[in-house]
Amino acid sequence: DIQMTQSPSSLSASVGDRVTFTCRATQAIDNSLAWYQQKPGKAPKLLLYSATRLQPGVPSRFSGSGSGTHYTLTISSLQPEDFATYYCQQFYTTPLTFGGGTKVEMK
Amino acid sequence: QVQLQESGPGLVKPSETLSLTCTVSGAAISDFYWSWVRQPPNKGLEWIGYIYNSETTDYNPSLKSRATISLEASKTHFSLKLNSVTAADTAIYYCARGLIPGAEHDAFHIWGQGTMVTVSS
């Protein structure tokens, strides 16, 4: 199985901050990576696909980058509605696997 | 607009079988891969398995062959059965649809709201 490791597991930030968190795979996944945002009591929401492709309706302050085994999600200017938990997921092969999540909290 | 809705018992006894249904509205159930994903309380997400066109299924080996996903003949809903459950199977269970038609390995685009299942005697 491909293990996905996200770091940090949590971070504290303020509105307007630029935040970046990472996702590492135990083997190269050829940009087969998705990022999700999950708020308490809600289902995850797909933000980016294939590492860098923003889903329709997702604000442009979200961006993704990376290659091989190392990927990042950046929020250029954190907004109040962005405080949530973010998960990465590889779809390179089954079993499809998720990272443990990064919780973005208000400083 | 595609919508998914999970349904089933919220409480299952240990060693019994968990049975859930996902009702699909607003889209044909063909053409996409349909998955079950679960999330234990305050923990991360785990893919359980998927089904495609009634013929293709794949499961997470972590479930040790306890899971079965089926597509109803009406093709308006699909189901999950998980047998020999224990407290470790207590989780929110989501059904989800892939993003790209026909893509076996895919992200999860459309999600149900999730249903909490507790395993307890």
Enumerate residues 44 to 73 of chain A having a beta carbon within 8 A of any beta carbon in chain B.
Answer: 44-46, 49, 55
Total Cβ atoms within 10 A of residue A16? 9
Question: In angstroms, what separates the C-alpha of A42 from chain B's closest C-alpha?
Answer: 7
Residue of chain B whose alpha carbon sits nearest to that of A36: B108
- Output the CA torsion sign for B54, B58, B63, B64: positive
> Which residues in chain B touch residue A89, judged by CB atoms under 8 angstroms apart?
45, 107-108
CA distance A83 to chain B (A): 16
Interface of B with A (CB under 8 A): 35, 44-47, 58-62, 94, 96, 99, 104-109, 111-114
pLDDT at A85 over 90: yes
Q: Which residues of A touch B35 (CB under 8 A)?
A: 96
pLDDT at B75 over 80: no
Three-state SS at A82: helix
What's the 3-state SS for chain B?
CCEEEEECCCEECCCCCEEEEEEEECCCCCCCCEEEEEECCCCCCEEEEEEECCCEEEECHHHCCCEEEEECCCCCEEEEEECCCCHHHCEEEEEEEECCCCCCCCCEEEECCCEEEEECC
For residue B64, what pLDDT band results from cuts at 50, 70 and 90?
Answer: confident
Identify the pLDDT of residue B29: 84
Binary contact (A93, B105; C-beta < 8 A) = yes
Q: Is A100 in Cβ contact with B99 (below 8 Å)? A: no
List CB contacts (< 8 A) between A100 and chain B. Answer: 44
Residue range B78-95, pLDDT digits in tens: 999 999 999 999 999 999
Residue B59 and residue B67 in contact, taking contact as beta carbons nearer than 8 Å: yes
pLDDT > 90? residue A52: yes
Query: pLDDT category, A100, cuts 50, 70, 90?
Result: very high
Say yes or no to pLDDT of A44 above 90: yes
Question: What mean pLDDT is predicted for residues B69-80?
Answer: 87
Percentage of chain A surpassing pLDDT 70? 100
Q: How far apart are CA B106 and CA B121, in angstroms?
A: 37
Calpha distance A57→B27 (Å, rounded): 20
- The pLDDT of residue A32 is 98
Chain A residues in contact with B105 by the CB 8 A cut-off are 32, 91-94, 96
Residues of B with Cβ-Cβ distance to A51 under 8 angstroms: none
